[in-house]
Structure 1
Amino acid sequence: MSQPVRLHILITTLPGRGQEQVDAFERLAPIVRAEEGCLQYDLHRVVGDPDQFVLVELWASREALAAHDVTAHMVAADAASPGFRAGPAQVIEVEDQSVA
């Protein structure tokens, strides 16, 4: 059985353009959350910096994540993001180290 995949994605927008990231996320989130295998898709603004964000994603499997990456809405979002982002997002895959 495939293991879930958890990503923390660090996003920095151009100065003063953080609201554009929020707006783009608000349009995209319902579509992504409806995808098969999407367990979590949440954007968090970094305290004290209106232009820095952490996107938390949890996918049921690597296959679900791979399918997500090539959807038309993600291809379009990736094409639009350089207009307001300071650079490429930094994708970090993390393991759950919680103790039950």
Structure 2
Amino acid sequence: MSQPIRLHILITTLPGRGQEQVDAFERLAPLVRAEDGCLQYDLHRVVGDPDRFVLVERWASRAALAAHDVTAHMVAADAANRAFRAGPAQVVELGAEPVA
């Protein structure tokens, strides 16, 4: 049985464009949360910086995550995000268990 995949995705928008990230997430989140294997998909703003975010994702398996990455809505979102993001998102995969 595969372990769930846990991701923290660090996102920075262009200065003053953070609300565009929020708006895009609000449109995308219901589609992603309805995907097979999606366990969590939540966006958090970094305290004190309206243009930085952490997206927390959990997927039931690596296969579910791979399928997510190629959905039509994700391909379209990735293309649209370039208009307001400062650069590529940084994806951090977390280990299955806490270290302490």
| Common fold: TM-score over 0.5 | yes
Report the aligned-residue RMSD. Answer: 1.0
- Residue identity in the other structure for 1:70: V
SS, match of residue 35 in structure 1? coil
Closer, same or farther: CA 54–15 of 1 in aligned 2, 3 Å: same
- Aligned twin of 1:20: 20
Alpha-carbon distance, 1:8 to partner = 0.1
What CA distance in whole angstroms lies between the structure 1 residues aligned with 2:12 and 2:4? 26
What CA distance in whole angstroms lies between the structure 2 residues aligned with 1:52 and 1:9? 11
- Residue identity in the other structure for 2:85: R
Segments of structure 2 that go 5 or more residues without pairing to the other structure are none
Alpha-carbon distance, 1:19 to partner = 0.1
What CA distance in whole angstroms lies between the structure 1 residues aligned with 2:98 and 2:45? 23
SS, match of residue 75 in structure 1? helix
- Aligned twin of 1:97: 98
- Aligned twin of 1:37: 37
Q: Percent identity?
A: 84
| Structure 1 moving runs of 4+ over 6 Å | none
- Residue identity in the other structure for 2:67: A
Q: Across the two proteins, how many residue pairs are aligned to each other?
A: 99
- Aligned twin of 2:68: 68
- Residue identity in the other structure for 1:49: D
1:30-88 CA distance string (max 9 Å, x none): 00000000000000000000000000000000000000000000000000001000000
What CA distance in whole angstroms lies between the structure 2 residues aligned with 1:46 and 1:5? 22
- Residue identity in the other structure for 1:4: P
- Aligned twin of 1:8: 8
What CA distance in whole angstroms lies between the structure 1 residues aligned with 2:15 and 2:68? 29
Segments of structure 1 that go 5 or more residues without pairing to the other structure are none
